[in-house]
Structure 1
């Protein structure tokens, strides 16, 4: 008698999410190694200088409104905005008696806030000095805290909203909007000359990995609490 364990759509989704976590962590490790050995220097300088006028590197490309938009977008990834947004979502979830989801949101951001300064101090990479910064910065460069924390918060919230949708198209829109917002915030850091491109790529990678890992743990716990363990007699045989 052969026992067959069917793989549900939910199980396939969890496996895919785990594979993405592994890929993101691998990408971060590769970037960290390249940064430590100077392997990203040429790429970083090419992108950073490519966003500036050749005759005046202090002036970014594009009209004035684009510079203002970059400043507005980058503020959406600040610690103040992300903490305020997370706090509001946390208490909203408590009010509707979704304590597990409230804990998920709090753990996601809390873990990122703890890990970010440790990573920055560990790598201790200086900020770009090729062109003047367009905003004030005080911490080390690698990885980008804005890219990392915005990936954690917005991807977690996007997944939370997507999970509540019955229509696949609506769920895809929620995830897509979270990804787009994360990408725009990270790109703004390079445009404003306060991060090397590799800083932002690393921030996206570790932020997405942490957000997905938190969601995987929550999904597994949720499945264990809601679904009874299968009995041998319930499994198909052939």
Structure 2
């Protein structure tokens, strides 16, 4: 049997393995961040930080009044809706429909598993930690569930980062890849910040939602990457005899 390893093949192999290891490392960091935050929150160590940041976003003379003009509060309400169940469900269904129409049922199933599993994870974590919502300032929007972690921050991270990763892989241009991923990150950050600005979450709720949501999205993006590699025909010279 002849083994013919070309330098280009070795470079491609190294890049692929570094990519997988980077994803695993990022997942581990995000999980550690979430567990660290959860531990501090349950021990009551984050109270001073949470209260200080929440009050910093209110006028000094009236905690009912968020900082900034009226239009900024309205914009925050619009932005926060991007992380709501209804909007995320519509975005997910639209992405699934596109993937099915594009002949990518496996990727569509991965999106369903990622978003559906992320929603279940958020519900279980809220039930498990059962942290009360902030009562330091009035809420800018209606809320019905527990506070930790932020479901909007978690859901936005799962949906936007997962879809951003899948979309970026299909683009040959590095600049377009960076743009898509940057927009996914920006949307995720804006949704989380809006929850604190509207007074419906403690800052650590949002940080924890970002951390666990990013870990979940990265894990499913890694699975999608592995599935895509296995289903892709090997180029000439990279098969079993190459």
TM over 0.5: same fold? yes
Report the 3-state secondary structure (helix = DSSP H, G, I; strand = E; otherwise coil) of the residue aligned with 1:70. helix
**Alpha-carbon distance, 1:221 to partner:** 2.2
Which residue of structure 2 lines up, in the alignment, with residue 167 of structure 1? 173
Could you tell me which runs of 5 or more consecutive residues in structure 2 were left unpaired when the two chains were aligned.
Answer: none
Distance 2:225 2:171 in 1: 16
Distance 2:161 2:21 in 1: 18
Distance 1:137 1:64 in 2: 21
**Which digits, 9 at most, give the CA deviation of each residue in 1:145-187, with x for residues without a partner?**
0000000000011111111111101100000000000000000
**TM-score normalised to the size of structure 1?**
0.93
Distance 1:157 1:101 in 2: 10
Distance 1:14 1:40 in 2: 34
Distance 2:87 2:107 in 1: 20
Alignment partner of 1:142 is 2:156: no
Task: Indicate the larger mover: 31-40 or 216-225.
Answer: 216-225
Report the 3-state secondary structure (helix = DSSP H, G, I; strand = E; otherwise coil) of the residue aligned with 2:142. coil
**Alpha-carbon distance, 1:225 to partner:** 2.8
Alignment partner of 1:198 is 2:195: no
Distance 2:166 2:71 in 1: 33
Alignment partner of 1:178 is 2:184: yes
Which residue of structure 2 lines up, in the alignment, with residue 62 of structure 1? 68
Task: Indicate the larger mover: 134-143 or 100-109.
Answer: 100-109
**Which digits, 9 at most, give the CA deviation of each residue in 1:67-105, with x for residues without a partner?**
010000000100000011101110111011011111121
Which residue of structure 2 lines up, in the alignment, with residue 118 of structure 1? 124
Residues 1-238 of structure 1: matches in 2 within 5 Å? 6=10, 7-226=13-232, 231=240, 234=242
Distance 2:137 2:21 in 1: 43
**Alpha-carbon distance, 1:227 to partner:** 5.3
Runs of 4+ in 1 over 4 A off after TM superposition: 4-7, 227-231
**TM-score normalised to the size of structure 2?**
0.91
Report the 3-state secondary structure (helix = DSSP H, G, I; strand = E; otherwise coil) of the residue aligned with 2:64. strand
How many matched pairs? Answer: 230
Distance 2:187 2:136 in 1: 27
Report the 3-state secondary structure (helix = DSSP H, G, I; strand = E; otherwise coil) of the residue aligned with 1:176. helix
Report the 3-state secondary structure (helix = DSSP H, G, I; strand = E; otherwise coil) of the residue aligned with 1:178. helix
Could you tell me which runs of 5 or more consecutive residues in structure 1 were left unpaired when the two chains were aligned.
Answer: none
Taking only aligned residues, the RMSD between alpha carbons, in angstroms, comes to: 1.6
Report the 3-state secondary structure (helix = DSSP H, G, I; strand = E; otherwise coil) of the residue aligned with 1:129. coil
